[in-house]
Amino acid sequence: MNIITEYPLWFILFCLLAGGIYAGVLYYKDKRLNELNKWLIRIMASFRFIVVSLLCFLLLSPLLRSVVREVEKPIIIIAQDNSESLISGKDSAFYRGEYKQKMNALAEELSDKYDVKIYSFADGIKERSSFDSLSFNEKQTNISALFKEIETRYSNRNVGAVVLGTDGIYNQGSSPIYAAGQMKQNIYTIGLGDTTIKKDLILSKVEHNRMAYLGNQFPLEVIINAKRLKGKNSVLTVSKDGQVLFTKALSIGQEVFDQTVPVLLEAKQVGLQRYRIALSSVDGEMTLLNNSKDIFIDVLDARQKVLILADAPHPDLAAIKQSIENNQNYEVESFLSDEFNGTFKKYDLLILHQIPNSKTGTNKLLVELENSGVPVWVFSGANTILKKEIAVAGTTSKINEVEPLVDVNFPLFTLSDELKQAVKDFPAVTSPYSNASSDIPGNALFYQRIGIVDTKNPLMSFYNRGDTKLAIFSGEGIWRWRLQDYASHGNHNVFDELIAKTVQYLSLKVDKSFFRVISKNNFFENEAIEFEAEVYNDSYELINDGEVEIVITNAENKKYPFVFSKTNTAYRLNAGSLPVGEYKYEAKTKVGAKAYSQKGSFSVSSLQMEYVNTVADHQLLYNLAKQHNGDLIYPNDINSLAEKLNAREDIKPVSYSEKKLTDLINLKWLFVLLLVFLSAEWFIRKRNGAY
């Protein structure tokens, strides 16, 4: 520790000189003090000399430089698997009792020499004070997330070793071997669980879509595994509300058995539907918890309807229709203009090909379009007639062969890199020559490339007429793009992406309600049920002045009331986790005298991932320990782990030195010292009548 200053050290002489002059003038030139004892005068002069000299020295902005040394004990991280798979076997009582005691004793023994940190991992990573609070009830295991968390929290810290207690079974994240590849810490593993392959029939997975449409059939794929049950039989059933919809007899012909069963069901009711898939039990099974699953399908009552209206048959129409119909969310109808006598209002999107033109007329069609408010995608040609207030168009008979040029700054939706690359190879389309411009601003997705010249004439662009969306493709021959996509890639995925994203953007309806509740329609049992809510005033501005209340009701009519918390301009609710089942909710709020409500439903699905694979993977734990200079030990040898760690020479305390600079004027004790000297001087002078 030493004192430094910006000025040369010999400036201290001026500080001492100033203190001496001040004290001399005050005490040796003042004749009123001649009657006092000389030793009192000298004491008071010394006090004044010290105070003035120190104050002058502080004017030099002195700094106190110090070196602080800290010794950090090595950190030992003990991470314990808290998933259900550990207690799925016959040793569940051991893990709930004796094992916890052994781990607590280990942590206590290590704490004398090391800084011990205890964590549990499975659904998430939690720091714990002891092992007593472990419940072994979490639904999935992610060991790689644990290693990432350790790297984040303890980077550049003195971590001596990581002790990992697990059965080696993981069903989330990447391989622990890969995830721990960059870790420099020593890793010791405790091999838990049972490596014996037990008799078990497992409904491992059900592949399905989250959504179906009323009256349609939808598929399921049921994946079944069996171990050591050769010669046994079971029955697969699919049921809803107690009614069996599908059955299939299974004959297990191998010791290691795998089978995928396709199931086709019909959506007969609107709303969130719960289906139970189950396998009948087989004698000798280790557990029946993995013999069934519940899935939830959201059945919608209608698809979005798309109308294609054309002046005459054209290969463009077939290419567009086939791409749209690949998405089950859309229902496509196509007519020639002289055959259609319906109304536009029942459709969600209207695609016009080469109309309106001089043959079909313009005024009547355009008036009906504007009155309907339906989004429109126009494929214009040489004879197409569009008014300038609608969009760019031409009426000339001249045409150009143009290639598409992607606008990299297009803001409305995102194109994949594959599509952007494929557009460069798309063949030319025929586009009417036009220098016309639009009276409304738009966004061009493609510009026209004529020969080797890149122009700013839009080939495909998007506009907004009030709340109505409009797209213009100024050309014909888009069917060639679909053929080119197949020739290059063996499928139509790139072309379908272009059509799908355009249709989705145009047909997407803007929610203009004054009260919205936003949430997922399916949660897992280990997830928190979260909602967001938005409230708007008459000017359609976000507000959060009032309260938003919600009541969640389960299938047994049990109600769970909650109140949303306010964020900056909206509302948020974390309702915690709820049991597996189907739920409905109703949210309410008030804006002035107006009352709003929103109803909805969601489901909570069970997670049985820990029962799909119950065979402990000690080979993984052995490899992990050996790659990181550790050992694999077993629960019976936990007591020896402290000895192994204590015997390592590379786990040592680390001494850190830190240099600190502190302004001397900020030291409180210096202020107290000056105050004491001045107070003592004043007291002596006052007592002896010098004031």
The verdict on residue 116 lying in a domain is yes
pLDDT value of position 392? 41
pLDDT value of position 351? 92
- Mean pLDDT of all residues belonging to the chain: 86
350, 495: one domain: yes
pLDDT value of position 690? 60
The verdict on residue 324 lying in a domain is yes
Dist CA 305 CA 330 (whole Å): 6
Structural domains in the chain (count):
5
Half-sphere exposure of 317 (CA within 13 A, CB side): 19
For position 546, which CATH number holds? Answer: 2.60.40.1220
318, 216: one domain: no
Range of the domain at 637: 74-196+616-646
Could you tell me how many residues make up the chain?
A: 691
333, 221: one domain: no
Model pLDDT for residues 650-680, shown as the tens digit of each residue: 888 888 777 888 888 888 888 888 899 888 8
263, 331: one domain: no
pTM of the shown model: 0.57
Dist CA 456 CA 211 (whole Å): 42
pLDDT value of position 436? 47
214, 361: one domain: no
360, 488: one domain: yes
417, 462: one domain: yes
pLDDT value of position 23? 83
33, 182: one domain: no
Closest-CA residue to 566 (of 529, 597, 533, 517): 533
**DSSP class of residue 575?**
-
The verdict on residue 223 lying in a domain is yes
285, 315: one domain: no
State which of 450, 476, 507 marks the end of a domain. Answer: 507
Model pLDDT for residues 490-513, shown as the tens digit of each residue: 899 999 999 999 998 888 777 678
Neighbours of 672 (CB within 10 A): 10
User: Which residues of the chain fall short of a pLDDT of 70?
Assistant: 1, 30-35, 302, 357-366, 382-397, 434-440, 511, 689-691
322, 432: one domain: yes
Strands (E), 196-318: 200-208, 211-213, 217-227, 233-240, 243-251, 256-266, 271-279, 292-300, 304-310
192, 218: one domain: no
pLDDT value of position 181? 84
pLDDT value of position 350? 92
Report helix, strand or coil for 249: strand
59, 107: one domain: no
Alpha helices in 304-355 (DSSP H): 315-325
Neighbours of 461 (CB within 10 A): 22
Model pLDDT for residues 270-316, shown as the tens digit of each residue: 888 889 999 999 988 888 888 998 888 888 776 788 999 888 889 99
